[in-house]
Structure 1
Amino acid sequence: MSTPATSIPAFSPKSWDSGRLKRPVCAAAQEILFDRHLRPSAEPVAAELQLISQVDRAHLVMLVEQGIAAPEAAQRLLEGIERLRRAHFGPLIDAPAPRGRYLAYESYLIDSLGPDVGGILHSGRSRNDLNAAVIRLRLREPYDRLLAECDLLGRRLLSDGRRYASVTMPAYTHHQPAVPITYGHYLVGVAAALARDMADLWHAGEEIEQNPLGAGAVGGTSLPIDPRRTTRLLGFAEPLANSVHAVASRDVVLRLTSAAAVLGVLLCRVAHDVQHWSSVESGLLHLADDVVGSSSMMPQKRNPFLLEHVQGRATVALGAFTAAVSAMCTSRFTNAIAVGTEAVAHIWSTLEAATDAVVLLRLVLEGAEPDAARMRQSAVEGQTVATHLAERLVSAGMPFRSAHHRVGAIAAEALETGRPLEDVARQRLPQYGPAVWSGLDPDSVAATANYGGGPGPGALDVALPDVSARLTDLRRRAARRRRRWAGAAAELDAAVHDILTTHQRTA
């Protein structure tokens, strides 16, 4: 007799306990890596037509206000558009669209409302400027989310930078210990680079704020439209002044993919550092159980596999940039499918992958705990105080190159004899006294490096507020822009409502 399906035991958290790891991968990482692709995405036809219809609503409001469209016809047309929006464009989901979704949508309105009503929709407009506007509207959410996730990563870096400002570790050059810094100093350095990359992303996205409506096919229109009105109703910052530029350029795609590629380089480099520092051989960082994975065969493993996903997704932008450039550079400077469709197709995966990489790196860093004793010991074993010893000799009057040579010989002897660098320095430099050869510990040396943006507390007191101020400025600008977008949507709803209620009163 078979066991009823209802008797199957429920999933227990212990089912994923590997023995080595006590927690599963955190929910935010699971969403990115596993769950997202198992869930149905938004219906693409409805998503596209939702944005098109938003432009149509603003365009019709403007046509009525400019006296180009009769109020009664615009009212009926808006009613038809609102019905489609409420139905999530159900009648058009499977409709044939041999010339594109917009024309199928316009044809539906003409067929259902008549040519005297549906036929006014495209007055003073082309698919060229419409498509240019829709791309900008579609970019808003993923672009804004990328910036928001970068801001969260930046704040995490600064918070941990303060927390670990006194945890001494080696800085590395050529994969070798170089000089003593602190883990906090490293994190603030990453935050500074991130703030710069965010500023570049902000600049790259400025074209999103420019309204191309009114450019028509490429030469504008003789109808007395008002692009400033559609600019306001759709939340743009300004209309574009040249019709050729408005429909020919999708340079925003090139700039955003380029800026995302540069950001990706930073993310990859930090992931490489964390990957090495969290290895058993290094042991400088311990990563939380919920950001590592076990092996299906090897029970001792703690694999920081999220970092490999960071590296993989951070480089998507580079391929997208190459593809977009390749598509655009063969087209003349006018409206072109290669520019407006083929090149643009790569921006969506770019923004999603870049955002994923930022989120995953933040999750890893949130669960990273430095091993302060091991970090300090690495700084000692790596003779990271040697440069400071040379600088003490410079302060005592010795030319730097001579000091460099003397300390190099002391470092070699210390390694050969297995003695501490300070002991050999005391023996080889007795004439200089304790001011030169005593207190050569990495903690003290790092604390004295207050010049040139070093890890000393004085320098950190300058770096932290500077990076924080830059992140705060970008955060406030993004918040103001979101408020403008939301305010425009509310104003457009109100304008449409006014036209519809006027029709209802006069019908």
Structure 2
Amino acid sequence: MSTVPAESVVTTASSRDGVDTGRLKAALDPEAHRIVYDQYLPREAADPLVGELDRISEVDRAHLVMLAEHGIVDPARAAALLRAIEELRGSDFAPVRGRPMPRGVYLAYEGWLIEQLGDETGGILHTGRSRNDLNATTARLKVRGPYLALLEAVDGLAGVLLEKAAQYADVTMPAYTHGQPAVPITYGHYLAGVAGPVLRAYGQLLDAGREIDVNPLGAGAIGGTSVPVDPQRTAELLGFTATAPNSVDAVASRDFALHLLSAAAVLGVASARVAKDLSTWTSEESGLLRVADTLVGSSSMMPQKRNPFLLEHIQGRSTASLGAFVSAASAMTTAGYTNAIAVGTEAVRHLWPGLSDTTDAITLLRLVVAGTEPRPERMAARAREGFTAATYLAERLVMEGMPFRAAHHLVGETVLSALDSGRSLEETSRFDHDLAPDRVAAACAHGGGPGTDGLPPLKAQLGTYRAQLTDRQDRWSTAASLLTDAVRNAVREPVRP
């Protein structure tokens, strides 16, 4: 009868912290842990009512500054109203949060201001404005945070893909079609290929973001306003780049939600496909890739396991935006082209989880790509064993004058002979050609093959998109400071940033 040494018992006990499993000696990457496990932990979420009131009051600040600057309302009354709004913002809207809201958040908030300041002052807040153009504006403000988070995740993934593509540009592996070894490429060439749809999605997201940079204020309920408001000024104060040219479109449309979800869905499909590849190549049977211990999990029962389970989370979350798109589009089709709850509320509510889950999936994929190393010897062996040089050999025969179909047939017979004899294609072929997979990959220098250096244009594209992202971040940040200064000048005393 065997016994477990005492020191082993101590080691086992000390490993119950969930880090040392015996096979795995490192904890899961903290960023991956947050995405995968923190969803199950209780957390104090920010009060959504406070968030909505914060966005409403941000629009109010810009609107009041504009009204006072243009002499539409008395500057002194606007200043008093701005002071009251700043006090509310400083208290996280505590006086408003406890009020009944039978007609919605905005009217409860406006009602409190009228009670405190009187109708002559509190009642000027809604001059030249409707809840319709207000809601269209706050929806655009709300999406900025999730939108930037997704863009930053996509930027990070694109950067890692291009970095690793350069690092592994000479690591030869088989490209697979129908699950079978096809032709030799490099792991770097594969990663550069993946960067293609990621960068296209980056561009599509930036394009979709131009719609959230349009200021709907001034559209009123749907027909504009006779009050001489200045949407260009409120656009400047809120960080928009343009004003809505048509009042109907301004309040009826939430196309930006569909375009963002569409771009995210296309990106998600590509991400799920890449996760499928990586899942196959990291299996013990394939053994082409090895994922770092910080990105795998163990089994609660089987001590030998190294499970690249993050890839399953990527597959599961990456297409949430596709479902969100279908749900949002379906909700919109029930409404006429006017201001509608089905559009502004029911459709748009699918945007937040769609963007959030896509951001998580892209972040996890970045971590896995960065923390995964190829196994060059195994990759090279599979390229040889899979006869991946066969197409190249047929093409060499074509260049020497043989019709392609005849060359195809002859090389096919050569592969069959090699299989029967247990030898490689190089050993079996009676033709004088270098069929080493790495040489073959390097020779494929046409049609965007692995013998070309396709990284410079991809890097240039990433640089262009990064500049656009930085410009948008800076513009929104600058507008926030500009608005704070404008409010400070209006009330003539320090206010909350």
The answer as to whether partners of 1:72 and 1:503 remain within 8 angstroms in 2 is no
- What RMSD in Å do the two structures reach over aligned CA positions? 1.4
Q: Which residue of structure 1 aligns with residue 4 of structure 2?
A: none
Which residue of 331, 334, 338 corresponds with 1:334?
Answer: 338
In the aligned structure 1, how far is the partner of 2:354 from the partner of 2:494?
Answer: 45
In the aligned structure 2, how far is the partner of 1:407 from the partner of 1:39?
Answer: 63
In the aligned structure 2, how far is the partner of 1:471 from the partner of 1:97?
Answer: 47
In the aligned structure 2, how far is the partner of 1:135 from the partner of 1:257?
Answer: 15
In the aligned structure 2, how far is the partner of 1:128 from the partner of 1:396?
Answer: 72
Query: Is 2:473 the partner of 1:476?
Result: no
Q: Which residue of structure 1 aligns with residue 291 of structure 2?
A: 287
Where 2:429 maps in the other structure, the secondary structure is helix
Q: Which residue of structure 2 aligns with residue 6 of structure 1?
A: none
Q: Which residue of structure 1 aligns with residue 225 of structure 2?
A: 221
Q: Which residue of structure 2 aligns with residue 3 of structure 1?
A: none
In the aligned structure 2, how far is the partner of 1:123 from the partner of 1:169?
Answer: 67
Q: Which residue of structure 1 aligns with residue 70 of structure 2?
A: 66
Q: Which residue of structure 1 aligns with residue 456 of structure 2?
A: 465
Give TM-score scaled by structure 1 length.
Answer: 0.93
**In the alignment, residue 250 of structure 2 is paired with which amino acid?**
A
Which residue of 80, 86, 89 corresponds with 1:82?
Answer: 86
Which residue of 313, 318, 326 corresponds with 1:322?
Answer: 326
In the aligned structure 2, how far is the partner of 1:93 from the partner of 1:26?
Answer: 39
How far residue 54 of structure 1 moved from its aligned partner, in angstroms, is: 0.4
Query: Is 2:486 the partner of 1:495?
Result: yes
Q: Which residue of structure 2 aligns with residue 446 of structure 1?
A: 441
Flag the 1:312–1:400 CA change in 2: closer, same or farther, 3 A.
same
The answer as to whether partners of 2:15 and 2:21 remain within 8 angstroms in 1 is no
Structure 2 portions without partners, runs of 5+:
1-12
Where 1:409 maps in the other structure, the secondary structure is helix
Q: Which residue of structure 2 aligns with residue 15 of structure 1?
A: 17
**In the alignment, residue 250 of structure 1 is paired with which amino acid?**
R
In the aligned structure 2, how far is the partner of 1:12 from the partner of 1:425?
Answer: 59
Which residue of 385, 390, 395 corresponds with 1:386?
Answer: 390
How far residue 15 of structure 1 moved from its aligned partner, in angstroms, is: 2.2
Query: Is 2:355 the partner of 1:351?
Result: yes
Give TM-score scaled by structure 2 length.
Answer: 0.95
In the aligned structure 1, how far is the partner of 2:338 from the partner of 2:16?
Answer: 61
Query: Is 2:251 the partner of 1:247?
Result: yes
In the aligned structure 1, how far is the partner of 2:363 from the partner of 2:211?
Answer: 25
In the aligned structure 2, how far is the partner of 1:402 from the partner of 1:205?
Answer: 54
The answer as to whether partners of 1:125 and 1:217 remain within 8 angstroms in 2 is yes
Which residue of 352, 357, 367 corresponds with 2:371?
Answer: 367
Q: Runs ≥4 in structure 1, deviation > 6 angstroms? A: 11-14
Percent of residue pairs bearing the same amino acid type: 56
How far residue 34 of structure 1 moved from its aligned partner, in angstroms, is: 1.6
In the aligned structure 2, how far is the partner of 1:252 from the partner of 1:382?
Answer: 47
The answer as to whether partners of 2:56 and 2:138 remain within 8 angstroms in 1 is yes
The answer as to whether partners of 1:127 and 1:217 remain within 8 angstroms in 2 is yes
Query: Is 2:140 the partner of 1:136?
Result: yes
How far residue 38 of structure 1 moved from its aligned partner, in angstroms, is: 2.9
**In the alignment, residue 322 of structure 1 is paired with which amino acid?**
V
Query: Is 2:36 the partner of 1:33?
Result: yes
How far residue 480 of structure 1 moved from its aligned partner, in angstroms, is: 0.9
Once the two structures are superposed, residues 73-104 of structure 1 have per-residue CA deviations (whole angstroms, 9 ceiling, x without a partner) of 11110010000000011122232211111111
Structure 1 portions without partners, runs of 5+:
1-10
The answer as to whether partners of 2:130 and 2:220 remain within 8 angstroms in 1 is yes
In the aligned structure 2, how far is the partner of 1:38 from the partner of 1:377?
Answer: 49
Which residue of 476, 481, 485 corresponds with 1:485?
Answer: 476
The answer as to whether partners of 1:250 and 1:340 remain within 8 angstroms in 2 is yes
Flag the 1:55–1:332 CA change in 2: closer, same or farther, 3 A.
same
In the aligned structure 2, how far is the partner of 1:224 from the partner of 1:441?
Answer: 76
Q: Which residue of structure 1 aligns with residue 8 of structure 2?
A: none
